[in-house]
Structure 1
Amino acid sequence: MSFNADSDLEVKVRKSTERISENMHIVANEPSLAFYRLQEHVRKALNPMVDRRVDVNKLHTELQGRCYDIEYAVGALKSMGKAEESFKNIQENLKNAIFLKQQLKYEESRRKKADSSSVYKRLSAHITLDLPELPELSDVVRETANRVESIMSKATHSSNS
């Protein structure tokens, strides 16, 4: 029985030592296997990740440029709202110019009807008239008449010189 017990004990000891040796081998090689797997993963994933980062940075730069463009456009639109007064002044000046043009056409048609041979008659059309105070005439009409008369007198003076 002692021979049988020794062989059983020997088999059990051998199995136990093999398992311990196998486990020691696995434990000893496990970190290097993990590092190998990590290295393999990094090697496969790093290039696409770097490419994505470059793309994201390029898109970020383009987005910033477009944001600056939008801010500039918004500022331009806001400043256009401030130009309303200038447009109103332009509109008033255009109305005055049309009125002056009508006045000039009227004066020109009057001159054609009058005798054009007399210098005195041509110049008398440009002489300033003192108009009586008429409530029907607005200040704009009087101002326009004054402008027409000053233009005509300047034209007369320039033609004489």
Structure 2
Amino acid sequence: MTTLQHDHELDAKVKKATERISENMHIVANEPSLAFYRLQEHVRKALPPMVDKRVEVSKVHHELQGHCYDVEYAISAVKSMENADRTFTDIQDLFRNAIFLKQQLKYEESRRNKKEPISVYKRLSAHITLDLPDLPELSDALRETANKVESMMHQARNTSQPAETSTP
């Protein structure tokens, strides 16, 4: 009986061992497919949000490049404005020279004190006004310049007429 009992015990141990071996073989055989299933499941869940984020990052990158170009353009505009300082200084000097020359012309004309007939140009220039807040003397300068040009034309006519009459 001991052999029978021993066989029973041995059969139970062998059966238990073979079940464990079979279970382990089943796990080992199915583990790669289970791993691929888990990977596929992860990709299906994680890929769409990742693609959306990638598209969004690409869009933001293009917008950022546009803003960088705008900033570079603005910087170059500001730097070119720094170089304009000399131009504005030159313009200011030219205005000073023009005002000085106008004052000289006004002084020369006041010295002459000639009575000239009022022409259409003088009447027209008397009505011309410019509203320049920083240069109130500019409209007077324009009027004086028009007067000077007209008086020079009048003198030119007077000096050219005797020469024309002396020639047959």
TM-score (norm 2): 0.65
Pairing of 1:98-137 with structure 2 (within 5 A): 98-106=99-107, 110=110, 114=113, 116=115
Q: 2: distance between equivalents of 1:23 and 1:83?
A: 86
Per the TM alignment, residue 155 of structure 1 is displaced from its structure 2 partner at its CA by: 3.3
Per the TM alignment, residue 117 of structure 1 is displaced from its structure 2 partner at its CA by: 5.8
Q: 2: distance between equivalents of 1:86 and 1:7?
A: 114
Q: 2: distance between equivalents of 1:82 and 1:60?
A: 33
- Corresponding residue of 1:92: 93
Q: Quick one: structure 1 residues 88 and 16, their matched pair in 2 at CA, closer, same or farther if it must change by over 3 Å? A: same
Q: 2: distance between equivalents of 1:79 and 1:11?
A: 97
Question: Are 2:157 and 1:156 aligned?
Answer: no
- Corresponding residue of 1:56: 57
Q: Larger relative CO (CA 8 A, sep 6+): 1 or 2?
A: 1
Q: Which runs of 4+ in 1 moved over 3 A?
A: 100-108, 154-161
- Corresponding residue of 1:80: 81
- Corresponding residue of 1:68: 69
- Corresponding residue of 1:123: none
Q: How many residues align?
A: 129
Aligned-pair RMSD on alpha carbons? 3.0
- Corresponding residue of 2:9: 8
Gaps of 5+ in 1: 119-147
Q: Percent identity?
A: 59
Cα distance per residue 1:25-52 (max 9 Å; x no partner): 1111111111111101100111100000
Q: Quick one: structure 1 residues 6 and 158, their matched pair in 2 at CA, closer, same or farther if it must change by over 3 Å? A: same
Cα distance per residue 1:2-24 (max 9 Å; x no partner): 10110000000000000111111
